[in-house]
Amino acid sequence: MKKFVLIILVICVVLFLSACDPTMRYKEENPELHVIATNSLLGVSGYENDSVFVLEHDDYGRTMFSYTGASTNGSVLAILISQKTNEKDSFFYDNVNFIFCEANEYKATKDIIINYFTEKELEKLKQTNDWNKEINENKLFKVPITRIKSIYLEMQEELAAFQKVSEDYHRGYSVPVTLGSDGKILYYMIGMKHEEQGYSKSGAYLFMFDKDGEVLEETGITEVIDVWNYQEQLKEFKEANNWKACYK
């Protein structure tokens, strides 16, 4: 009997360890940069076949890098800037630290990037993030360095909120963006519409949940106007919901 119990225990441990290593676990180099992408870009969960490519550093230790991977909007290519990192956390300027577009690229080198972004766009990104200037500690947003997102709500909490704007919603089209210091969770969701040919996308939305998993009244839901250029709208949505960064 004891031997049987031991065997069952071993099986459970193996299953648990397997569950902790899904395809959503990033396995490549620079997880301290990858986590900035998954906490900045809407619709990005992070997968084992994502790619991060370091482009350059400035005189104060910043890093400009590319991210390629899958999102609910399609395959994406993003250029992001990290302000600094330490053993546990990564720091960046929230809402303004990236530009991105739809692209099917495995690894975005400098030669590839010029096919998608102009020098003017890249220079503007640098200027907005104080490239080659002293780091402004008051602007920093902090996220813990992890290889997998683990801030999902319970299924029933998601469904109750998301079905308010999309009756045909299903789980695969909602992705948590990031977590605030007071327990608020920012979510991004693609609405679904049932048609004769099947399902089609119907709008994109931001949701702000409080620490108890409830959508904030009046300000907690908004439709995203442009899924490829939403930095300003994202900033305004966070401000409207009294978003506080996880910095200290």
pLDDT digits (tens, 9 = 90+) for 74-96: 889 999 999 999 989 999 999 99
Residue 2 banded pLDDT, cuts 50, 70, 90? very low
* CB-CB neighbours of 14 under 10 Å: 10
What is the tally of structural domains in the chain? 2
Q: Are 177 and 235 found together in one domain?
A: yes
pLDDT digits (tens, 9 = 90+) for 188-238: 888 766 666 666 667 888 989 888 888 888 898 899 999 898 999 999 999
Residue 72 has pLDDT above 90, yes or no: no
Residue 109 banded pLDDT, cuts 50, 70, 90? confident
Amino acid at 142: K
Q: 234 lies in which domain range? A: 155-240
Rounded CA-CA distance 7/4 in Å is 5
Mean pLDDT on 110-123:
88
Last residue of a domain, one of 83, 116, 144: 144
Q: Give domain status of residue 232, yes or no.
A: yes
Annotate 33-89 with three-state secondary structure.
Answer: HHHHHHCCCCCCCCCCCCEEEEEEECCCCCEEEEEEEEECCEEEEEEEEECEECCCE
In the numeric block, which tokens belong to residue 68?
A: 């390629």
Residue closest to 239 by CA, chosen among 225, 215, 221, 219:
219
Instruction: Using CB atoms within 10 Å of the CB of residue 197, give its burial: 0 to 12 exposed, 13 to 18 middle, 19+ buried.
Output: exposed
Which helix (DSSP H) or strand (DSSP E) does residue 158 occupy? helix 155-162
| pLDDT score at 134 | 95
Mean pLDDT on 92-110:
87
Q: Are 200 and 219 found together in one domain?
A: yes
Q: Are 120 and 206 found together in one domain?
A: no
Sheet holding 63-71, edge to edge: 51-57, 63-71, 74-82, 98-102
Residue closest to 227 by CA, chosen among 78, 32, 126, 106:
78
Last residue of a domain, one of 144, 169, 188: 144
Q: Give domain status of residue 68, yes or no.
A: yes
